Amino acid sequence: GIQVEQSPPDLILQEGANSTLRCNFSDSVNNLQWFHQNPWGQLINLFYIPSGTKQNGRLSATTVATERYSLLYISSSQTTDSGVYFCAADMGGSNYKLTFGKGTLLTVNP
Amino acid sequence: DGGITQSPKYLFRKEGQNVTLSCEQNLNHDAMYWYRQDPGQGLRLIYYSQIVNDFQKGDIAEGYSVSREKKESFPLTVTSAQKNPTAFYLCASRNRGREDTQYFGPGTRLTVL
């Protein structure tokens, strides 16, 4: 099956800083999503982005499908951005299940 | 409100007892999923169901069982055969479509004493 690798595993920022999280995947994808897990465990979908670029406020994401990677940009970070960011992908077809990366733990200090 | 509900939020059980975790969705999604998350770890797939009355094993199905009798409901039973059941359990649902987005419930924290 598809392999999903995320980097860096941990990231510590001061409030107001910008950051880039990376997701590499081993095969062509039909679906790629970014999620944020807050400190209480709730997972929120940030982007559905199998290709192209999307922006939502201070967050944006870009997937370059031909080169098999996706980037999540966080600008002007806030303490509420802290948590774990997961990338997940699938190749489509009959196995309709996402494979998750191990996540990036982001800590934003005030 | 549309979404996924999981109950209870916290659950304590004695070793050797079976326990059933509830997951309900009103998003009209065909596919539903159960994941397990251990502290500081990623998500591991336990079982998933793409349609009513059908389900498939995920990566760590041993010691767990599921049913999918209704589109809205996908309960997970943690049996006494599961060697280390203490974990955070997350339910999710998803629908094929133009924006094929997966949504998660709030999770159930299971502690086996």
Q: What is the pLDDT of residues B71-96, one digit of tens each?
A: 999 999 999 888 899 999 999 999 87
Query: Has residue A91 got a pLDDT over 70?
Result: yes
- Its sign, for the CA torsion B86, B24, A38, A90, is positive
Average pLDDT for chain A: 95
Binning chain A into helix, strand and coil, the percentages to the nearest 5 are 5, 55, 40
Residue B58: partners with Cβ closer than 8 Å, 6 or more residues away: A97, B33, B34, B44, B45, B46, B47, B48
Which of A30, A32, A43, A47 is the best residue to mutate to test the B interface, defined by the most B CB atoms within 10 Å of its own CB? Answer: A43
Asked if residue B55 lies in contact with residue B48, where contact means CB atoms within 8 angstroms, the answer is yes
CB–CB of B107 and A48 under 8 A?
A: no
Q: Looking at residue B113, what is its pLDDT? A: 87
pLDDT class for B33, splitting at 50, 70, 90?
very high
The CA distance from B105 to the nearest CA of chain A, in Å, is: 7
B23-52 mean pLDDT: 95
Report d(CA B102, CA B65) in Å as an integer. Answer: 22
Contact A35/B at CB under 8 A: yes
pLDDT above 90: percentage of residues in chain B: 83
Instruction: List the helix and strand counts (H, then E) for chain A.
Output: 0, 11
Q: Where are the beta strands (DSSP E) in chain B?
A: 4-7, 10-13, 19-25, 31-37, 43-51, 54-57, 64-66, 76-78, 87-94, 102-104, 108-112
Query: Has residue A66 got a pLDDT over 80?
Result: yes
Length in residues, chain A: 110
Asked if residue A19 lies in contact with residue A11, where contact means CB atoms within 8 angstroms, the answer is yes
pLDDT above 90: percentage of residues in chain A: 87
Q: Looking at residue B61, what is its pLDDT? A: 97
Contact A82/B at CB under 8 A: no
A17-42 mean pLDDT: 95
Size of interface A-B (CB pairs under 8 A): 44
Distance of CA A66 to the CA centre of its chain: 18
pLDDT class for B2, splitting at 50, 70, 90?
low
Report d(CA A32, CA B69) in Å as an integer. Answer: 29
A61-69 mean pLDDT: 96
Q: Identify residue B73 by its one-letter amino acid code.
A: S
Q: Looking at residue B1, what is its pLDDT? A: 58
Report d(CA A103, CA A35) in Å as an integer. Answer: 9
